[in-house]
Amino acid sequence: MGKAYLALAISLAFLFSMIYARPVAAADAYEPDNSPATATTISIDGIAQSHTIDPAGDVDYVKFSATSGTEYTIETTLGTCTDTYIYLYDTDGTSIIDYDDDSGEGYASQIIWTCMSSGNYYVKIRHYSDDDAGSYDISVFAASSTTQNDMGMGGDAGNTINAATLISAGAGTGYIDDTDTVDYYKVQVTSGQTVSVNMTPPYGSDFDLKLYNTNQSEVDSSTLSGSQTDTVEATATGTGYFYIRVYQYTESRSYSMTITITGGEAPQNDMGTNADAGNSLSAAAVISPKSGTGYIDETDTDDYYKVSVSSGQTISVEMTPPSGSDFDLELYNPSQSQVDSSILGGSQTDSVEWTATSATAGYWYVRVYHYSGSGSYSMTVTITGGEAPQNDMGTNADAGNSISAATEISSRSGTGYIDDQTDTDDYYKVSVSSGQTISVEMTPPSGSDFDLELYDSSQSLVDSSALGGSQTDSVEAVASSAGDYYIHVEQWSGSGIYSMIVTVTGGATQNDMGTNTDAGNSISVSAEISSRSGTGYIDAQTDTDDYYKVHVGSGQTISVEMAPPSGSDFDLELYNPSQSLVDSSTLGGSQTDSVEATATSTGYYYIHVEQWSGSGIYSMAVTVTGGTAQNDANSGQDAGNSFVQALAIEAGSYTGFVDSTDTDDCYKLMNLSSGQTIWVSLIPPYGSDFDLYLYDPNQTSVASSTQGGSQADTVSYVATSSGDHY
């Protein structure tokens, strides 16, 4: 009996030892990640990734983008993996910079390291014992405040309630430390809505949470100790802003926060536009085919939308009012003539549909209007057949299909389209200055899987994201030199419209004189502008010169004034069409330089802003006065004022002039073929409002744009017959 009992005890002890030494593990979602080439990108905001060492002897790699001079903390948090060992590798992925066994909590690992050269660095994680497996979390966070991107707003949240940062409901992260001890946010609410906030501090830190109402009076607070999740909640009794305060009690780093708004009537976000849809055809909100919601009531009785439809495509719209309400539906063609309507009673689903012909390609208009009741309606807009019109990131075209054909864009939010047949890749390029950070987020359509890559100015891959399914991919890099960075959206499975956000932060954002880029660095690559006031940027390192060119008619006088930033000394030169210097100004310090000349012949005059000392943003005013000769589209004359007098031009970029005595300029594009696409964009001068119309060979209007103020007007049309277009 004694021997039997002893044998059983030994057996149980051995079994327990085996279970403890070999925890149940399974491959994680980041596999394969067992080499620098397959390393998973991890953010530097302290948000952990959950990985698993499986099978025994497995290793995992992560990589992160580091900036010179910034301190980073890399650490693990143990799960079923009871002891980690980590290595930090240089940008080559093979040279070891540092390693650690158990400097973290218990047998967890931690490396604190200051980056000496910007680039992508690698971390290898393994179990201390090659015979063991298990789960763990890995996180990287930057101690520098320059990494702040509180709740995705691109900077540090406000430090007082009156400077609170406006955000919307959702999930994100923020950062506080000993020098930045509080973050204030505000969210818009309507009467009857409930605001709920959850905030989780990082491991080892203790942050607290408060909620204030529209009167900035505290309505709830949570001061749980340690890294527990604090929660606050309150219901609004009036419309306005609720305020959220996250504040430090002990330690530092990134926290996660989720804000939920429920009940009441949601603030207007008609069909994902983040605003109320237009109340007239002329103010219709541009949307793409999608499902979404909108809101109308007794004071907001109409919502108008417009959708681009190509020849042969069918637009179908279904709209369901809220229970107890009766809303109706109408559909208009590009001539703004009603072609279909539905006025079913009560809360029945209204539907309209029409097929565009070659003569009716363009924007089609959807009207949702109030008959009785109020509330949120649901609507689905579908376009089928024909060719899907491409307008990748607002370029009115398909983005390039290779890095050499990349389409130039600036920082913006927008949409693009790729499919699994003929358009599997979209390439973009964005101008970035040295020291600037470019961040890109891309969300595929539901049911599709698209991936994302980022290349530097040498066209070398610097970051990538290949999350599965319809998850949002994100990439980021800090530019070590000025130039174009390239974004690649790649189809893995499925087709459809993706959304993308491109953000460039830090450094000096280049938009010299409204050109959305850096002005040319030599006279041969001068940036073309018209008479205007604006700003530009030069510095002492990589961008010491800005060149512009302005078209001036014979007898006209061009005058330029340029004011450097305080503490800097920039100079100014003016060259004639022969590129001979005709005037210059080299006043010392931050005095305003001015140059002037009267043109003896028609052509381009060149402006040179030159750095003498210092760096920064200068202001400049360019004025062209006098003379009588118009030079519309470089013709040396006024464009015609009627179809008969229309000035013949070819595809290209031009300038023209209209005023109260010369109210119309008419041009003609000669001998276009049926099936060719015409795209015209007009940019009025600042403070003016000009409109744009396109006519077919029969001099019938086929497209128009009447944007208010100095907004760019754009029209696009596929020719249905050959001949001159106006």
Residue-wise pLDDT tens digits, 634-670: 766 778 888 877 887 877 777 888 877 778 999 888 7
SS3 per-residue string spanning 568-600 = CEEEEEEECCCCCEEEEECCCCCCCEEEEEECC
Tokens of 228: 């527990």
CB contact set of 331 (below 8 Å; sequence gap of 6+): 315, 317, 338, 339, 340, 341, 352, 353, 354, 364, 365, 366, 367
**For 126-184, how does the pLDDT look when each residue is reduced to its tens digit (9 = 90+)?**
999 888 889 999 998 887 544 577 887 767 888 999 888 888 778 888 888 888 899 99
**For 532-558, how does the pLDDT look when each residue is reduced to its tens digit (9 = 90+)?**
777 888 877 678 899 999 888 788 899
> What are the start-end ranges of the E strands in 190-313?
194-200, 206-212, 218-222, 230-235, 240-250, 253-262, 285-286, 291-296, 302-309
Task: Enter the DSSP assignment of 237.
Answer: S
Buried/exposed code over 547-556 (b: 16+ C-beta within 10 A; e: otherwise): bbbbbbbeeb
Which backbone phi and psi does 307 adopt, to 5 degrees? -135, 135
- For residue 125, with 0-12 CB atoms within 10 Å meaning exposed, 13-18 middle and 19 or more buried, which class applies? buried
- For residue 160, with 0-12 CB atoms within 10 Å meaning exposed, 13-18 middle and 19 or more buried, which class applies? exposed
Tokens of 496: 């459809």
Tokens of 167: 């955000």
Virtual torsion, Cα 433, 435, 436, 439, nearest 10 deg: 130
Q: What is the mean pLDDT of residues 361-388?
A: 84
| CA angle, residues 682, 685, 687, in degrees to nearest 5 | 125
What integer best gives the mean pLDDT of the chain?
84
Q: What is the mean pLDDT of residues 208-217?
A: 93
> Could you tell me the pLDDT band of residue 386, with boundaries at 50, 70 and 90?
low
- For residue 215, with 0-12 CB atoms within 10 Å meaning exposed, 13-18 middle and 19 or more buried, which class applies? exposed
Buried/exposed code over 353-362 (b: 16+ C-beta within 10 A; e: otherwise): ebbbebbbbb
C-beta atoms surrounding 703 within 10 Å = 20
Q: 80 near 24, Cβ under 8 Å? A: yes
**For 214-252, how does the pLDDT look when each residue is reduced to its tens digit (9 = 90+)?**
889 999 999 998 889 999 999 988 777 899 999 999 887
**For 677-715, how does the pLDDT look when each residue is reduced to its tens digit (9 = 90+)?**
888 888 887 667 888 999 998 888 998 888 877 677 888
> Could you tell me the pLDDT band of residue 506, with boundaries at 50, 70 and 90?
low
Greater pLDDT, 506 or 524: 524
Q: 447 near 413, Cβ under 8 Å? A: no
Q: 289 near 318, Cβ under 8 Å? A: no
Alpha-carbon distance 531 to 551, whole Å? 9
pLDDT of residue 146: 43
CB contact set of 211 (below 8 Å; sequence gap of 6+): 195, 197, 218, 219, 220, 221, 232, 233, 234, 242, 243, 244, 245
Task: Enter the DSSP assignment of 706.
Answer: -
pLDDT of residue 14: 29
Residue among 597, 588, 654 at smallest CA distance from 622: 597
Alpha-carbon distance 596 to 419, whole Å? 54
Which backbone phi and psi does 523 adopt, to 5 degrees? -65, -25
pLDDT of residue 387: 52
Over 60: is that where the pLDDT of 259 sits? yes
- The maximal CA–CA distance of the chain, rounded, in angstroms, is 120
Q: 601 near 577, Cβ under 8 Å? A: yes
Buried/exposed code over 19-43 (b: 16+ C-beta within 10 A; e: otherwise): eeeebebeebebeebeebeebbbbb
- Between the alpha carbon of residue 663 and those of residues 359, 639, 647, 684, the distances in Å are 28, 11, 15, 13
pLDDT of residue 636: 64
Q: 141 near 45, Cβ under 8 Å? A: yes
Instruction: Show the domains of the chain with their CATH numbers.
Output: 36-145 (2.60.120.380), 148-262 (2.60.120.380), 270-384 (2.60.120.380), 392-505 (2.60.120.380), 512-625 (2.60.120.380), 637-725 (no CATH)
pLDDT of residue 603: 81
- Sign, CA dihedral 352-353-359-362, equals positive
Tokens of 560: 């330029």
In percent, how much of the chain has pLDDT > 70?
Answer: 91
Tokens of 419: 């499919």
